Amino acid sequence: MAYNVLIVDDSGSMRKVLLKTLRLSGFELGKCLEASNGREALDVMEGEWIDLIISDVHMPEMDGVEFLKSLRKMEIFSNTPVVFVTTEANEDRLRRLIDLGASGYIRKPFRPEEIGTLLSRIMGEPNGFVAGRSSEGCDF
């Protein structure tokens, strides 16, 4: 099954790394949308079906926490899985994300296997994704 994914991060290079990591992990991508902050993400999502959101926490204009709060108020996206990929080290803040409805988080720097394993669990893929389906190389 191909999944439509929204990657939200204020760093364009990190968005590219995450996209390539998804492809290399065997995650089947349908449409992949990008946004540089939560406010832009909400605009990008208008009229789109999104199966999964991968977001940073610390971003300008609207950070990940405010984005998640706004998202959970929208009926159509109230149950959409949201995974945070973040430099956040404060355990209380990370637990708060989960309490607000995040499906999980991974700390930067991360190993691609971490993302594949977490997303397999969240997306209900009991056998995981088949790594290496991508024809792309590993150079970021």
pLDDT tens sequence across 41-51: 999 999 899 99
Instruction: Look up residue 76 and give its DSSP letter.
Output: G
Residue 140 CB partners (closer than 8 Å, separation 6+): 13, 16, 17, 20
In terms of average pLDDT, the best of 22-26, 78-82, 134-138 is 78-82
Roughly how many angstroms between the first and final C-alpha of the chain, as a whole number? 26
Q: What's the pLDDT score for residue 126?
A: 63
Residue type, 120: S
Whole-angstrom distance, CA of residue 87 vs CA of residue 99:
19
60 confidence band (pLDDT: 50, 70, 90)? very high
Q: What's the pLDDT score for residue 137?
A: 42
The answer to whether 52 and 123 are in contact (CB under 8 A) is: yes
Is a pLDDT exceeding 50 seen at residue 140? no
Residue with more model confidence, 138 or 63:
63
Q: What's the pLDDT score for residue 133?
A: 44
pLDDT digits (tens, 9 = 90+) for 79-132: 999 999 999 888 898 999 999 999 999 998 888 888 888 988 899 876 555 554
Output the pTM of the full model. 0.88
Is a pLDDT exceeding 80 seen at residue 75? yes
Is a pLDDT exceeding 50 seen at residue 59? yes
User: Which residues, in sequence order, are bridge partners of residue 33?
Assistant: 6
Is a pLDDT exceeding 50 seen at residue 135? no
Q: Which helix (H) or strand (E) holds 41?
A: helix 38-45
Q: What's the pLDDT score for residue 134?
A: 42
Q: Domain 3-122: which CATH class?
A: alpha beta
